[in-house]
Copies of this chain bind each other. A is one copy, B any other.
Amino acid sequence: MSPRRSATEARNTRSVILDRGVRVASVEGLEGLTIGRLATDLGMSKSGLLGHFGSKEVLQLAVVDTAAGVFVHEVSDRATGVEPGLPRLRALCEAWISYLERGVFPGGCFFTAAVAEFDDREGPVREAVAGMIGVWRRDLTFQIRLAANAGQLPEDTDADQLMFELYGVMLSLNHSLRLDRDRVAADRARRAVTRLLGV
């Protein structure tokens, strides 16, 4: 009954806030994620919620971090056991497609939406988003290079070029899914990946 909770309870409350925050932000955007709305959703006061973060920007950064954790769990981790190089690359692409197809975030790919919203701004939120995407792109490029070195892809493969094109396939998939709920779009994406990586 006391308003002061233990550190464990505070951590739990924090993770409940972030869980909800990620879902709201994926639909309404990181700016449309308002403290008042989030607090009302969770049945707490604005100041109670804000106490966990201190400012909206810190909340946004924590939300980006949480979303990154979800992406790693739903995509990267699904390919962890797979042999590095082309098999791993294929597994990553399939996990990526599946992540979009299943609608892991209710508003589509969290990071695609975040880029569209923050690409013109400056500050730590933009940098956090760009940083996460940079890590993901480097992971992909690395697996492409491994595959090329192992002779699983043509020796003269331009890793950055191939990554650029794979990324485009996923952006096109997200676009189609969001715009016209096109259920066959995922198959188009799979066909494009197959063409890019060989059968």
Residues of A that sit less than 8 Å from B by CB: 27-29, 31-32, 106-108, 112-113, 115-117, 119-120, 130, 133, 160-161, 164-165, 167-173, 175-176, 178-180, 185, 188-189, 191-192
Contacts and interface: CB of A to CB of B under 8 A. Distances in A.
A167 B175 contact: yes
Contacts of A116: 112-113, 116-117, 178
16 contacts: A28-B120, A29-B29, A29-B117, A106-B120, A107-B120, A108-B119, A113-B116, A115-B179, A116-B116, A119-B178, A130-B179, A160-B188, A161-B188, A165-B172, A167-B172, A168-B169
State the copy count for this chain.
2
A26 to B, nearest CB: 8
A28 to B, nearest CB: 8
B107 A192 contact: no
Contact of A164 (B113, B117, B120, B176): B176
Which 8 A-B pairs give the minimum distances between C-beta atoms? Answer: A168-B172, A168-B168, A116-B116, A119-B178, A171-B171, A164-B188, A27-B120, A167-B172
